[in-house]
Amino acid sequence: MPEPVLLSIAVAVATNAVKGLYELVKSKFSGDPVATGVLEAAQDAAPDSPEVARLGEALEKAEEQDPEFGERLRGQWESTVTVTQTGHVTNQMSGTVNGNVLQAGDVHGGVSF
């Protein structure tokens, strides 16, 4: 089983939550029809699905075979904006934001912009 960070990356790639990660993985897998099939099968799959787990395994294998890819993958993952409020919420945001963003833990009452 891949380490938790690779599973988190797999979820972000499968849901296209972090566009740059998806493009990096798609480019890496482009010469490998099996890996490409794994990536395509994981698209829009549930985060805890077997398809996403297989994507995590494929990322682990790719990282082992190409440490430079692994560094780029993890570097791009770490460059996403992460805010953690201990015991409550983890928010992640990446890329260009056009509009309002609210990162919050407990909100009591309404929120309007």
Residue 91 pLDDT: 61
Tokens representing residue 86 in the block: 């201990």
E-assigned strand segments in 1-113: 81-85, 89-93
Nearest partner of 41 among 33, 64, 24, judged by Cα: 33
Q: Give the span between the Cα atoms of 9 and 13, in whole angstroms.
A: 6
pLDDT tens digit string along 66-109? 999 999 999 888 877 555 555 555 666 665 556 676 766 667 78
pLDDT tens digit string along 3-16? 888 888 888 898 88
Tokens representing residue 78 in the block: 């770490």
Please count the structural domains in the chain: 1
Q: Give the span between the Cα atoms of 31 and 37, in whole angstroms.
A: 11
Give the domain range for residue 63. 1-113
Predicted TM-score (pTM) of this structure: 0.70
